Amino acid sequence: MLLSEKQERLRSEVREFAEANLRSGLMENTRGPRFPHEAYLAVCKRGYMGFMLPNTYGGSGGGVTEYCILLEELARVDHNVAWAIDVTVAVASVIGRLGTEAQRRKYLPGLMDGSVIPAFALSDLTGGSNLKQMGTFASRAVDGTWSITGRKAHIHNCELANLWLIFAASADGQEAILYEGCENVVLERKYQPFGFRCVPCHQIFFNGVTARDDHLLGERGKGVMAALAGALNYTRIGNASIVIGI
């Protein structure tokens, strides 16, 4: 695949940016555990976090190819930063595609400017990323409130997250639920993934986390679509781009 002239300019621009802003923190980030706040915010300030999102919500309107260029060039200098970006875009892309207008306006600007740090809580301790075998369960009361209970594994940003995208089974199928804060989120085990120690990774327990109907992302009972729109589509491509960059 040949890149357009505009895409080649983007590659050169990101490469120059990464060398100037990421190179000095590489060794410290690789040793971890330390979230790369300064570099992360520099990426946000440059507007790179907004690929695949419309300008209306703070995005830059680029596509998948531009996003792959971004991650490849960031990872070429510091894969830790590229990984942190990939986690955020996983959540932002799902909200951008499936969120209500109110959800988009509430969450996307903060994700783009770095003030909101998300966690993508998909992988289940028992069922992995297979939503049909997920042990985490969301039960709904008659007043429209939800209670989420269950364990997740290999979830990034848990120590920092102020927005969670939680996937859970329900009586109607599977749900994707947005949750703010950390109440009733228990960090049970900290992993030390080789090469990505600066992006916190944990096994966690949702001990009756509460949400409302307006926190549902996408249609009720069809959380699998949110998973496909985020983790199982774009982040897989993003992961491959990071590896190529390394």
pLDDT tens, position by position, 201-244: 889 999 999 999 999 998 899 887 777 765 667 777 888 888 89
| H-only helix segments in the chain | 5-21, 26-31, 37-46, 64-77, 79-98, 101-113, 223-229, 236-245
Positions of the chain with pLDDT lower than 50, given as ranges:
none
pLDDT (0 to 100) of residue 36: 84
Amino acid, single-letter form, for residue 70:
L
Work out the burial of residue 10: count CB atoms within 10 Å of its CB; fewer than 13 is exposed, 13-18 middle, 19 or more buried: buried
Given phi > 0 = left and psi -120 to 50 = alpha, else beta, which region is 173? left
pLDDT (0 to 100) of residue 231: 61
Q: What residues are paired with 222 via a beta bridge? A: 174
Residue matched to tokens 């289940």: 124
Which among 224, 89, 232, 99 has a CA at the least distance from the CA of 167?
A: 224
pLDDT (0 to 100) of residue 8: 94
163-170 and 118-121 beta bridge pairing = parallel
Tokens encoding 71: 């991650």
pLDDT (0 to 100) of residue 230: 59
Give the contacts of 231 (CB within 8 A, at least 6 positions apart): 90, 120, 122, 129
Residue matched to tokens 């496909």: 228
Which among 79, 221, 84 has a CA at the least distance from the CA of 146?
A: 221
Are 70 and 48 in contact by the 8 Å Cβ rule? The answer is yes
Element (H, E) at 145: strand 145-156
Q: Give the end-to-end CA distance of the chain in Å, rounded to a whole number.
A: 20
Give the contacts of 128 (CB within 8 A, at least 6 positions apart): none
Question: Coil, helix or strand for 213?
Answer: helix
pLDDT (0 to 100) of residue 182: 86
Which among 193, 198, 200, 192 has a CA at the least distance from the CA of 158?
A: 200
Tokens encoding 14: 């990101």
pLDDT (0 to 100) of residue 176: 92
Distance separating alpha carbons of residues 147 and 142, to the nearest angstrom = 12
Are 57 and 105 in contact by the 8 Å Cβ rule? The answer is yes
145-156 and 163-170 beta bridge pairing = unpaired
